[in-house]
A and B are shown apart, each in its own frame.
Chain A
């Protein structure tokens, strides 16, 4: 199409300007600075001296960071896999419902997703409250009649936070699965039915393969999402002792930067987090692309 180049460039400049400014100042610049900061021993605010790979060395050798990394991975495994599978099961059930029953069920599973994390925290903290929480009625018999402060019990902490997180975020996955299931035409099932396939066979040979791309998508979204976890872990360990044992990566960054005023070290941890997530994102992209080409 004939267009005046000048008019086009002008329009492009005006339309792109807000984005470029925001993106440049708030994204590109801080990212570059983050890498730069990771090579210094600067405090949170203020200059520091260049120390090369010193920070990274510290991360690798001191105990807390590897613990944080491990805790994060542990948490991701606890929440991403069950969350994905459970969501599929729920979606299979919800997909069978019709009309208002389906809407209500979907809303029930999805509503937690739009709650702020702090509200989720409050609800579950109350339910498991050591003194008066309703969950104690189920826990006490298992604990020899004793109430248990679940979130203060180190081995139970991560699993419980995972449970809370699954409750919070399942709706998102269910939505994606339901949409994926709807894309499978019922005619395929009818044909299988006529061919004499049992329900399990139908699931194994039709549903599972056809929903696999969605499964991979959901799983990888969860993996990447949970790696960045902070809010729930921080909230549930508020005012507690032995925060270190259950620390996660973003929490480590928070601690070093905002509590211990070690900007450079925090930045290096940020870079590690960044790299880990970038690698997973690339893997996700390749996985999905390979799948799509099959």
Chain B
């Protein structure tokens, strides 16, 4: 277990690093040659749909899953073969896994009692944690007598009392109802701000990831799709997967033909006859026959149907009034398109409208999904 420098650059060594890890279950490879780093004190979200491997990654960091190939480093130390209890990591389970036959107090103090801490120390640390999480009134209740939110706090408390180096969260909010979820999200954010501890958070809910995380790792079937801050991922998605996953309502994808690329600007032909000009980065794409133009609903606006500058025209199928904004589902030659408009839109279902798009915010995606 020698200390290996985390990275070669001058930046601070990552707190947690998975280096080229692979996870195999028999003949199935769930995760292949994946590398990711987590900085000290950051709130990193592992985001992706079911089956993308995010929980597996978390469990590998925890030591609950064996790593088939590759290494795991904690603070520069190779912990690939170290037992979970010795990694100074604590985990909050999706089901909380509170011991049903123990009271809140006993649940929280369990790890201390296993380690042989004195009664005095157990009590002190339990009370400290209970104070932070506002559990003081519930210390003598059993999990069955607690509400969902309280149970979650006890689960966090159980992790907190160990003063771990890293907190792992495995979809902790998915068992709560919507209102409670929002509340607990704020509490988690507050907790992070108070403790400045490294937190790794697994979720399939992009809203949670966007609101809580400093850095999001988007996972797609065992591979990293993109790593970046929430806004980076939102505004500059590297591929169609990330673009579609992040943002609600999700981005529209219009099939387009690539007619010309010149000086970093591509001209595309939209269904319905219009053209648009979009910035492309990196290696200029050759004249690929077809690509997809990604436009977020808020970057489309309603214009009069026969407006000459309209990129698309279509018939409004459904209008959803949300009060602060309106979502319109418009059938166009490019398929059904979602448009976000202000709250006081007076368009009705069946009306024909034109849509203009903000070319600056549109992105082109090639046939392989990568951003062009």
Q: Which of B65-99 contact A (CB under 8 A)?
A: 65-66, 81-84
A3 and B84 alpha carbons, distance in the complex (Å): 8
Q: How many residues of A contact B (CB 8 A)?
A: 4
Residues on B with C-beta less than 8 A from A2 are 63-64, 66, 81-84
Q: How many residues of B contact A (CB 8 A)?
A: 8
At the interface, yes or no: A238 with Cβ under 8 Å from chain B? no
At the interface, yes or no: A1 with Cβ under 8 Å from chain B? yes
How near does chain A come to B207, taking the closest CB pair, in angstroms? 32
> In the complex, which residue of chain A has the Cβ closest to the Cβ of B65?
A1
Residues on A with C-beta less than 8 A from B83 are 2-4
Contact with B along A151-162 (1 / 0, CB 8 A): 000000000000
Residues on A with C-beta less than 8 A from B64 are 1-2
Residues on B with C-beta less than 8 A from A4 are 83
Residues on B with C-beta less than 8 A from A1 are 63-66, 84
A2 and B86 alpha carbons, distance in the complex (Å): 11
- Among A2, A3, A4, chain B packs the most CB atoms within 10 A around the CB of A2
Residues on A with C-beta less than 8 A from B84 are 1-2
> In the complex, which residue of chain A has the Cβ closest to the Cβ of B79?
A2
> In the complex, which residue of chain B has the Cβ closest to the Cβ of A3?
B83
How near does chain B come to A193, taking the closest CB pair, in angstroms? 39
How near does chain B come to A140, taking the closest CB pair, in angstroms? 62
How near does chain B come to A4, taking the closest CB pair, in angstroms? 6
Q: Which of B290-317 contact A (CB under 8 A)?
A: none
Q: Which of A86-129 contact B (CB under 8 A)?
A: none
Q: Which of A1-60 contact B (CB under 8 A)?
A: 1-4
How near does chain B come to A287, taking the closest CB pair, in angstroms? 35
Chain A residues with CB under 8 Å of chain B are 1-4
Known: A1-B63, A1-B66, A2-B84. 8 other contacts (CB 8 A): A1-B64, A1-B65, A1-B84, A2-B63, A2-B64, A2-B81, A2-B82, A2-B83
**4 residue pairs, one from A and one from B, having the closest CB atoms:** A2-B63, A2-B83, A1-B64, A2-B66
Chain B residues with CB under 8 Å of chain A are 63-66, 81-84
Could you give 14 example pairs across A and B, Cβ below 8 Å? A1-B63, A1-B64, A1-B65, A1-B66, A1-B84, A2-B63, A2-B64, A2-B66, A2-B81, A2-B82, A2-B83, A2-B84, A3-B83, A4-B83
